[in-house]
Amino acid sequence: MIRLNLQRHCIETELKRLHRRWVDRLLKADTDSAEAEKTLQILEDALKRLDFPQLRAAFPELMGIRPIEAILIEAPNDCLELMINHQTIDLSCYYKSKTPSADR
């Protein structure tokens, strides 16, 4: 469970900001590395998989225009969920579409 601060920026910017912060924490000796690694895994997963323009279009509150309560959750079966103002959203329908690879 990762709390997001969307008061002054969008969800994508917040996830990138948190990722940098947790990398810095992991490099410090006084941080619980298991917690940091787990948090980084969730953040990296979200940054790689989510289609942010589609997500912001569906949920304009994720644009960071006004403060909201948002929490990123790793759900069972390797899925991501987002809780916005106590409403849980399955993010699997906002994953980037996979394009066929150009293997030749």
Cβ 68 vs Cβ 3: under 8 Å: no
pLDDT tens figures, 23-55: 988 887 666 678 888 999 999 999 999 999 999
Predicted confidence band of residue 57 (pLDDT cuts 50, 70, 90):
very high
pLDDT of residue 90: 94
Tell me what pLDDT residue 78 has. Answer: 84
**Which pLDDT score, from 0 to 100, does residue 103 have?**
47
pTM of the model: 0.86
From edge to edge, which strands make up the β-sheet containing 69-75? 2-5, 69-75, 79-84, 87-90
